[in-house]
Amino acid sequence: MSSITTPRAENSATRLEFWRDIVSRNFVPLEIVPREGPDFHAQLRIARVGEVRVSVVATPPHTARTRRPAGSDASDHVKVSLQLTGHCVLTQGDHQAELKPGELAVYDTRRPYTLDTDRPGRSLALMFPRAMLRLPERELARVTAVSVSCRDGLGTVVRPFLYGLARRVDELESLGTPRLADNVAGLLGTLLAEHTGADMTRGPDDGREVLTQRILAYMEQRLHDPELAPEQIASAHHISRRYLYKLLAGHGCTVSGWIREQRLAHCRRDLADPALAHLPVGAIGSRWGFPGPAHFSHAFRTAYGMSPSEARGVR
């Protein structure tokens, strides 16, 4: 866990530049403009749990906006921010979310956004690969930069869990495991799915969406099977391969691409899990459906730029 505070001994311009550098390195490149004079003091407490970065941010009133348009070096991550104290307004695209304590919103780090705070405040920020949410792109776009309350529905379950993360951020790296990271992302994904479902109007495509979700669940349950293939999936759902391809294309992916991405994500999680350190690298690949160590190693390096053995050394 790291705790970073703007240095009080420095002049105001140096403190502000220090904070710009800190938030840009830990989130996305941001421009910070104080709203109440130059005396800017802020604090960031940050921990890594698997692929989830957990941060508690305390800031004075300010405006933060991305320094450059969405593009080249934007990571394929989402950021979920829960307002703990204070008030802020998040603007991204044509959506705008006003966040009060107990409300959260999702940011898409690939796209520009602006964050305005009019008073001192604290927030919990969770940043992780968008694939961990397991939300279709259409649903994720629907809920991006939209205020989601944690005071009703599933939010009443999620809220104490998130507040607990904020309170114990200093201990998370010693207590947490990659499985906790999956639980964090899974719980948030379920909350967001509930929110988009509550706002959806039913239409003629509902049957197609239900079928697609069944297919995704079917594939998820059989990732360990090296024989998992479009023919098997289509047959199990009494549809043609062509229609199967069409359904997944509507979610912005291919059958083989989705299976490969999910297998690799599970392998990366398991490689980082100390409880599985006794398993050989090849066994990790095999348990998620890769037919052999060479195939697994090549696919992993292509996706993550490192070998499975190197990933095992990254905590």
pLDDT at 98 exceeding the cut of 60? yes
Span 269-278, mean pLDDT?
84
pLDDT per residue over 177-208, tens digit each? 667 887 888 889 888 888 877 333 344 445 67
Tens-place pLDDT, residues 39-56: 788 999 999 887 889 999
Name the more confident of 243 and 36. 243
Select the more confidently predicted residue: 153 or 58: 58
Whole-number pLDDT of residue 74? 45
Spatial distance between the Cα atoms of 49 and 39, rounded to a whole number of angstroms = 33
Q: Which of 93, 78, 199 is nearest to 148 (CA)?
A: 199
Instruction: State the CB neighbour count (10 A cutoff) for residue 222.
Output: 15
For residues 276 and 211, the answer to whether their CB atoms sit within 8 Å is no
Type of residue at 257: G
Q: What is the mean pLDDT of residues 250-261?
A: 89
Q: What single string gives the DSSP state of each residue in 82-97?
A: EEEES-EEEEETTEEE
The whole-chain average pLDDT of the chain stands at 85
Average pLDDT over residues 218-244: 91
In Å, how far are 27, 55, 214, 221, 295 from 82, measured between CA atoms?
15, 10, 31, 31, 40
Q: Name residue, tokens 């939209």.
A: 146
Q: What pTM, to 2 d.p., does this model score?
A: 0.63
Mean pLDDT lowest among 16-20, 67-71, 202-206: 202-206
Look up residue 248 and give its amino acid. L
Q: What is the 3-state secondary structure (H, E, C) of 146-178?
A: CCEECCCCCHHHHHHHHHHHHHCCCCHHHHCCH
Position 132 scores a pLDDT of 79
Separation of alpha carbons 52 and 127, rounded Å: 6
Spatial contact of 127 and 27, defined as CB atoms under 8 Å apart: yes
173, pLDDT greater than 90: no
Q: How far apart are CA 299 and CA 315, in angstroms?
A: 21
What is the helix, strand, coil percentage profile of the chain, to 5? 45, 20, 35
pLDDT at residue 68 in the model: 60
pLDDT above 80: residue 150: yes
Which of 68-77, 104-113, 251-260, 287-296 has the least mean pLDDT? 68-77
pLDDT of residue 187: 87
pLDDT band at 225 (very low <50, low <70, confident <90, very high): very high
pLDDT of residue 73: 42
The more confident residue out of 75 and 279 is 279
pLDDT higher than threshold 70 for residue 72 = no
- Is the pLDDT confidence value at 129 over 80? yes
Question: According to the per-residue pLDDT averaged within each range, which of 26-30, 161-165, 276-280 is highest?
Answer: 161-165
φ and ψ of 46, to 5 deg: -135, 140
**What burial class does residue 6 get, using C-beta atoms within 10 Å of its C-beta: 0-12 exposed, 13-18 middle, 19+ buried?**
buried
Q: Residue with structure tokens 């991006």?
A: 144
| C-alpha–C-alpha distance, residues 67 and 112, integer Å | 8
Domains identified in the chain and CATH numbers: 2-199 (2.60.120.10), 206-312 (1.10.10.60)
Average pLDDT over residues 132-155: 86
